[in-house]
Structure 1
């Protein structure tokens, strides 16, 4: 290699280094920003998680504090002062408040609290279903059978969290309407369902026998399936 060739290579290498440094100076901030975003995102996620835990703990402490009184009306009043940080937390608070309103013999207020949950589209479905179920059962003496039946039929649909309990309520309505055949058929369907619990299975058996029916246990799940 001639001296001129070596000189040219040295100059070329120097130019490459200069170009690389220029690019780093010009675009290096992108890499730095990417690192900051990653680190900042992780820190923000941790902050949000810690904030959510703190809110949950604060809400739990507030609800426990509200339940310290021996008087149901006072517990209700205390719960009504608690502020929930989210729709889901508000649903839990409303369900608890409704329970205490029932204890305070204020059924109308309890129903109103429950309906505020069941009609709130921002609340997870399971809470809405629980609220609707409780509201319907609380109005067993004041709400007409047709309306209650419609509500329980909606809850008894496939996949519903409370479907079997709703079916049991439909059977009880059938008994109230002097329709034992429908009641027995409904209870038999409960017996044959793979999701039936031992307690509900026992109640179904007792009512079928009390109505003069003959329980069919061929399709009923065994205790192993239930436990």
Structure 2
């Protein structure tokens, strides 16, 4: 509620102040109205363009994923060389996952066709791609190192795979085997044996890698037999899983006949 002016002079000053404020607002509106309207229009256009772009990107990613799945089917049917031609444009798309999977698929087909250089180039591209998921970059690093192992210095192998050669790492078994072989090339037999023993005792490692590590560690003079009971249990579990009958597929949801009410 407005205060009652104490004197006529106060009322006059209040009126002058109100008129001045009103004049300033009108002047501001006249001077900047066009700019404000233009700014709003630009904002709306930019927002609309972004939403359109986002929608187009989603459509493009969906189309690329469908194309990739079709290529996988083609590879599975033995048409690897034809599939590689379709993979080529997908290897440079902006979608990180599609690009990565296309390169890995091309590398696998190239390796199957004894095209070592093409496979190596694809694995290197994935390993060096900072946009690719770490799991795939690590896979590519291990595979590329395995391909060019004989051309690398042992110290290069050890240094390259050092981040992965740690118990508990998903790639410990694969990276550890390559690192241990590099140690052998350096003449570090005992160190290689201990690393194979570590692989043998790693419960997260594949059964075949652990079994192989037990044998190699033994030939190098390192006893890894403590892992044998656990290996036997793991082998039994794998056999039971393979022997188990497949689970029946879930029944498809039934739809009501046309014209009926639920």
In the superposition, the TM-score normalised over structure 1's length comes to 0.66
Mapped partners of 2:227, 2:105: distance in 1: 40
Mapped partners of 2:233, 2:76: distance in 1: 38
Mapped partners of 2:161, 2:131: distance in 1: 22
| Residue 57 to residue 73, structure 1, CA distance change in 2 (3 Å) | closer
Mapped partners of 2:231, 2:108: distance in 1: 34
Contact 1:97–1:110 (CA<8 Å) still a contact in 2?
A: yes
Mapped partners of 1:79, 1:58: distance in 2: 9
SS at structure 1 position matched to 2:173:
helix
Contact 1:66–1:79 (CA<8 Å) still a contact in 2?
A: no
Mapped partners of 1:116, 1:52: distance in 2: 21
Contact 2:123–2:141 (CA<8 Å) still a contact in 1?
A: yes
Aligned pairs (5 A) from 1:21-170 = 55-65=64-74, 68=77, 70=79, 73-82=81-90, 86-157=95-166, 160-170=169-179
Q: Where does structure 1 lack aligned partners over 5 or more consecutive residues?
A: 1-47
Specify the structure having the higher radius of gyration (Cα): 2
The aligned length equals 182
Deviation per residue, 1:39-90 (Å, 9 max, x gap): xxxxxxxxx99986665333201343366555x5544334224465621121
Q: Which has the higher contact order (CA 8 A, sep 6+)?
A: 1
| Residue 196 to residue 102, structure 1, CA distance change in 2 (3 Å) | closer
Mapped partners of 1:224, 1:209: distance in 2: 20
2:203 is matched with 194
Deviation per residue, 1:144-203 (Å, 9 max, x gap): 221111112122246532122211211122223333211111111112223233211110
Mapped partners of 1:105, 1:124: distance in 2: 27
| Residue 66 to residue 169, structure 1, CA distance change in 2 (3 Å) | closer
Mapped partners of 1:154, 1:188: distance in 2: 19
SS at structure 1 position matched to 2:161:
helix
1:6 is matched with none
In the superposition, the TM-score normalised over structure 2's length comes to 0.58
Mapped partners of 2:58, 2:234: distance in 1: 38
Q: Where does structure 2 lack aligned partners over 5 or more consecutive residues?
A: 1-56, 238-262
Backbone CA RMSD of aligned residues? 3.3
Mapped partners of 2:184, 2:88: distance in 1: 38
1:176 maps to 2:191: no
Contact 1:115–1:131 (CA<8 Å) still a contact in 2?
A: yes
1:215 is matched with 224
